[in-house]
């Protein structure tokens, strides 16, 4: 992961593009353009962090806060700049400690630098997500998006954390000396971006709501503090940073509605205080924190925003702006990841897509429908280890059939993440010779001969008077049906909405293990339990966990499936697979991409041993930590009990067809 000859820092062009990416992926951000950054931006972006820190120090004078409508947001930005000055100072101290200090002094300086970052994390993540990834991203090398066959070496705080905790490792001074300058570089870069951004109230409240849920889903899972154990401490600082960011709004809020102002003030302070008093990441009762502290804080932020008449900017996230928390029953918008030309999913369109899902005419020989493998009675799986061909044989390289419940709530599909939209997935499956063995063109021709079906297409999607079935229309209606298959009302969901007795004591303990000692929540993120990274859910990292070809616990051989490498040809993505959802996992056995494990107990045992490396497989690029989790038998039982509490197919039953039998071909 680290190179002895130094740190790879992206070029000026890549730095500037990272800003423009925010305007593409988050069009509501009015970020500085390449032109407005000018020569200084190109100069800063091209330099290594150490040179940036020396050549482009943060100025002592702050930008004045704007007047008029942007007054409060401008004051929040001024406070953000002050926090970036503190981050710069912390970076200086860390550099000095790396040069002259002891290991203990470096650990102290590192912790201070991360605390300084956490205090400004809300707006840093909102305005400069690319820079945050370089400063505090996962310590895993990643592919260069502009040169896919090259690798970007990971940089920043998590790299430093690996050599400092739980004890300093050999060579720590060199690693810290190489990485410490990026703290000051990031502070300068974030200030540069914010200086060219016109702040509005919607930015501030959007950043606040995102940060509270980031604390819950990432911070308290140990996502970026897995070795130091400082997750609770850092989360408390982040929440206080949100409170400070909202301070300019408190006078106006108090004048408008004192009760809501008090609720906002008290809820954020109480949430931070709870975390201050419960620092043990293994034993932290996250359910109590979410229900009694984080949830009320998020709802107070939402109430304050509505009271002040602040509108949230549009977002590409599946988290609906109408929902105060990620745990609300209407938290997710399945249309968020749909292509721009996808029509609104009317009941008529969904019903038509549902019928096509059960129609064997989509396959080349009328031998199977989508529902042949994605069976509603099995939570839309088939109960087999690997998907068979249409002739009943299981070909080499075949994979397990995943559920399509909540399939719309992820940015990519298939185990190897090869498609972006559900419409693309439909085309891939229909044309795959080992699955449907047809084509959208052939299916459209066949279905178009059914005048009643063609008329339904025209009625649902609009027509020119001549009923017609087209390949694109087939994609559209099937994708609409898939987007309707949501189920987020398990007993676990009801517990997080306040009915904590919906879970047994063992299940509640299992949730603590899941998010704490088991480290499951660092890949299967709350609340969707898949690999889409909250709170935006727009990215989904593939993981290399070392799935064996047979269920052995010693001297295991790796399953030969290359995974995402077959699509990207990136060496570190060999044997990498999308992190699937754990919702309804009690109904979707067998498990893993090859169906190698038949029980949840076996899956937990695999992770407890350290994944593939822990059972003897040779896997130098494993992203799953190879160290045993050392879960007790009771902890393993509790974890399995919790996973079973994620069962919920009630919602999808409501849109299932009356008869599960495929329609006859004509």
Q: Give per-residue pLDDT as tens, 161-205.
A: 999 999 999 999 999 999 999 999 999 999 999 999 999 999 999
Residues pairing with 563 in the sheet: 576
Q: No. of H helices and E strands in the chain?
A: 28, 4
Return the pLDDT at 17: 31
What per-residue confidence (pLDDT) applies to 549? 97
What's the confidence (pLDDT) of residue 70?
Answer: 81
Consecutive H or E run containing 35:
helix 34-46
Q: Are strands 542-543 and 577-578 parallel, antiparallel or unpaired?
A: antiparallel
Beta-carbon contacts of 102 under 8 Å, excluding residues fewer than 6 positions away, are none
Would you say the C-alpha torsion 636, 641, 646, 652 has a positive or negative sign? positive
Q: Give the number of other Cβ atoms within 10 Å of residue 321's Cβ.
A: 17
> CA 172 to CA 161: how far, in whole Å?
10
**Structure token pair of residue 419:** 């498609």
As a whole number of angstroms, the distance between CA 638 and CA 515 comes to: 12
pLDDT at 63 (0 to 100) = 56
Contacts of 15 (CB under 8 A, 6+ apart): 41, 44, 45, 46, 130, 189
For the chain, residues with pLDDT lower than 50 are: 1-61, 653-666
Per the structure block, which two tokens stand in for 42?
């190109």
The torsion angles phi and psi of 419, rounded to 5 degrees, stand at -125, 150
DSSP assignment of 145-167 equals: TTEEEEEEPP-SHHHHHHHHSSS
Residue 565's alpha-carbon distances to 454, 617, 628, in angstroms, are 41, 18, 27
The SS3 of residue 335 is coil
Neighbours of 49 (CB within 10 A): 26
- What is the structure's pLDDT at 68? 63
């Amino acid at each position: 992961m680290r190179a002895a000859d130094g740190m790879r820092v992206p070029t000026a062009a890549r730095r500037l593009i990272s800003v423009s990416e925010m305007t593409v992926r988050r069009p509501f951000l009015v970020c500085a353009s390449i032109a407005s950054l000018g020569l200084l931006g190109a100069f800063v972006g091209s330099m290594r962090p150490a040179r940036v820190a020396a050549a482009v120090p943060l100025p002592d004078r702050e930008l004045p806060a704007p007047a008029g409508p942007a007054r409060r947001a401008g004051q929040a930005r001024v406070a953000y700049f002050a926090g970036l000055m503190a981050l710069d100072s912390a970076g200086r101290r860390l550099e000095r400690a790396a040069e002259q200090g002891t290991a203990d002094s470096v650990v102290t300086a590192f912790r201070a630098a991360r605390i300084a970052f956490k205090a400004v994390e809300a707006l840093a993540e909102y305005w400069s997500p690319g820079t945050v990834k370089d400063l505090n991203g996962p310590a895993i090398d990643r592919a260069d998006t502009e040169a896919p066959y090259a690798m970007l070496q990971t940089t920043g705080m998590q790299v430093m954390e690996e050599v400092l905790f739980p004890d300093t490792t050999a060579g720590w001074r060199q690693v810290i000396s190489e990485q410490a300058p990026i703290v000051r570089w990031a502070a300068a870069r974030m200030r540069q971006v914010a200086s060219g951004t016109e702040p509005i109230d919607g930015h501030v409240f959007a950043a606040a709501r995102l940060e509270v849920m980031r604390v819950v889903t990432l911070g308290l899972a140990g996502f970026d503090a897995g070795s130091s154990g400082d997750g609770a401490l850092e989360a408390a600082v982040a929440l206080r940073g949100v409170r400070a960011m909202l301070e300019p709004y408190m006078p106006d809020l108090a004048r408008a509605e004192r009760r809501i102002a008090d609720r906002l003030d008290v809820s954020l302070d109480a949430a931070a205080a709870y975390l201050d008093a419960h620092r043990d990441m293994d034993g932290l009762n996250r359910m109590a924190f979410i229900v009694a502290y984080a949830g009320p804080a998020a709802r107070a932020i939402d109430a304050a925003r509505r009271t002040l008449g602040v509108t949230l900017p549009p977002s590409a996230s599946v988290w609906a702006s109408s929902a105060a928390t990620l745990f609300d029953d209407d938290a997710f918008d399945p249309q968020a990841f749909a292509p721009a030309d996808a029509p609104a999913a009317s009941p008529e369109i969904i019903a038509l897509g549902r019928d096509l899902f059960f129609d064997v005419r989509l396959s080349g020989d009328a031998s199977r429908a989508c529902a042949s493998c994605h069976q509603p009675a099995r939570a839309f799986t088939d109960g087999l280890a690997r998907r068979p061909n249409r002739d009943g044989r299981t070909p080499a390289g075949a994979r397990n059939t995943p559920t399509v419940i909540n399939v719309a709530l992820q940015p990519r599909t298939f185990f190897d993440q090869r498609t972006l939209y559900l419409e693309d997935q439909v085309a891939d499956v229909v044309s795959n010779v080992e699955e449907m063995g047809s084509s959208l063109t052939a299916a459209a021709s066949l279905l178009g001969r059914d005048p009643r079906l063609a008329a339904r297409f025209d009625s649902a999607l609009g027509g020119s008077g001549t009923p017609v079935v087209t390949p694109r229309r087939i994609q559209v209606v099937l994708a609409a049906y898939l987007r309707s298959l949501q189920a987020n009302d398990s007993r676990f969901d009801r517990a997080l909405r306040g009915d904590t007795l919906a879970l047994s004591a063992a299940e509640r303990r299992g949730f603590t293990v899941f998010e704490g000692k088991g480290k499951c929540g660092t890949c299967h993120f709350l609340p969707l339990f898949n690999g889409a990274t909250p709170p935006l859910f727009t990215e989904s990292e593939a993981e290399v966990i070392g799935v064996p070809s047979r269920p052995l616990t010693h001297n295991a051989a790796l399953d030969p499936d290359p995974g995402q490498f077959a699509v990207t040809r990136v060496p570190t993505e060999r044997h990498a697979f999308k992190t699937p959802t754990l919702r309804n996992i009690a109904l979707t056995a067998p498990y893993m991409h090859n169906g190698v494990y038949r029980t949840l107990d076996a899956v937990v045992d695999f992770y407890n041993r350290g994944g593939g490396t822990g059972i003897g497989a040779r896997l130098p690029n494993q992203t799953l930590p190879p160290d045993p989790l050392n879960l007790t038998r009771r902890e393993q039982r509790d974890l399995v009990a919790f996973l079973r509490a994620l069962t919920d197919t009630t919602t999808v039953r409501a849109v299932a067809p009356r008869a599960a039998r495929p329609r006859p071909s004509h």
